[in-house]
Amino acid sequence: PCWKRVKRLEEEGYIESRVTIVNRQKVGLPVTVFVSVRTAEHDEKWLERFAAAVVALPEVLEFHRMSGDVDYLLKVATTDIAGYDRFYKKLIKTAQLSGVSSAFSMEQIKCTTALPLELIAHGLPA
């Protein structure tokens, strides 16, 4: 019964994929960097080119278009500061950017992919 429910939830699009979470320290990617990107460009063609280039960078774990002072926020996994420098040099070649700033995570206090479904449990199928 549980397997059938999982299959149905996949078919209905509630479950997008099933993944294995790898320990980043053990595989040599312990450094997390949050990269804020600012640009003077905001047209659709520019965004398509920039998005395609950023999505193709394997270090990028997450890529968000933001409101506020920063236009884009990237979450990057890398080996060390030299690895980040290599990533940075690739990033600034992707498009004309007006500013890039980086914040290195000192400690990961919480990291989860679990959604707080208890907040909306009434709307989920049985």
- The answer to whether the pTM exceeds 0.75 is yes
Does some domain include residue 126? no
- CA quadruple 63, 68, 70, 71: dihedral sign: positive
Residue 104: per-residue pLDDT: 98
Provide the CATH number for the domain around residue 71.
3.30.70.920
Does some domain include residue 41? yes
Residue 120: per-residue pLDDT: 82
Angstrom distance (rounded) from CA 48 to CA 40:
15
Instruction: Name the residue range of residue 67's domain.
Output: 31-104
pLDDT tier, 125 (very low <50, low <70, confident <90, very high otherwise): low
**Tens digit of each residue's pLDDT (9 = 90 or more) over 75-120:** 999 999 999 999 999 999 999 999 999 999 999 999 999 888 888 8
- Of residues 121 and 100, more confidently modeled: 100
Residue 94: closest CA among 34, 40, 52, 43: 52
Does some domain include residue 24? no
**Beta-carbon count within 10 A of 35 CB:** 22
Does some domain include residue 20? no
pLDDT at 122 over 80: no
Angstrom distance (rounded) from CA 33 to CA 88:
11
Average per-residue pLDDT in the chain? 94
